[in-house]
Amino acid sequence: MRTNFPQLMIDLETLSSEPNAPIIQIGAVPFDIRTGEVGPAWQLNVRPDFAVTPPSLDTICWWLRQDEAARMSVAQAEHGFAPADACMAFEDFTTMSCVEKLELWAMPPEFDCVILANLFRSVGRKPPWRYNMTRDLRTLEALAGCSRADREAALVPHDAGSDADAQARTAIKYWARVFAAPKEGV
């Protein structure tokens, strides 16, 4: 099994949309955007510290309106990893699955990457990616001339591992469209 993927797609499930949102689930999928290879999805539930990061009532109400499969996927957060342990597990996963200078992809990085970086900082750890290596799936979607309707569907929407897998496959599809498309005037 390949263990040196250059890209990693992440997805978070949270209880707020603020930069310090309590994370209840982290999903990640290593992939190679140029070859189309996708590694196995990885995910873990996180037991947030509400004293540090309070939840949002709006987000909790949003969760209550989601499908049962999505709600059940994150319902085990109370039994999940403590924030510091979740950060160490994520770091271990990236070390085993990706190249050292990985590109960290998200949709959008202003949400997922920022919140995950803040979790790392809150437990005194440095995020395991370089600040200038974050990438945005929505920008790639626009460059490919695509829209939400063109995205790969997650097996279980709002399950972080499933969403990360669908987003990695979407990135590969869009990349091929952008770079395989015939150029005008050629």
> Domains of the chain: which residue ranges?
5-180
State in Å, rounded, how far the first CA of the chain is from the last one.
39
0.75 cut: is pTM over it? yes
Amino acid identity, position 122: S
| Amino acid at residue number 57 | L
Beta carbons of 32 and 42 less than 8 angstroms apart: no
Measured CA to CA in angstroms, residue 38 lies from 17, 72, 76, 86, 104 at distances of 28, 26, 27, 23, 14
CA separation, residue 134 to residues 96, 105, 117 (Å): 19, 6, 11
CATH, range 5-180:
3.30.420.10
pLDDT tens over the chain, length 186 residues: 678 999 999 999 999 999 999 999 999 999 999 999 999 999 999 999 888 889 999 999 999 999 999 999 998 767 899 999 999 999 999 999 999 899 999 999 999 999 999 999 999 999 999 999 999 999 999 999 999 999 999 999 999 999 999 999 999 999 999 998 666 655
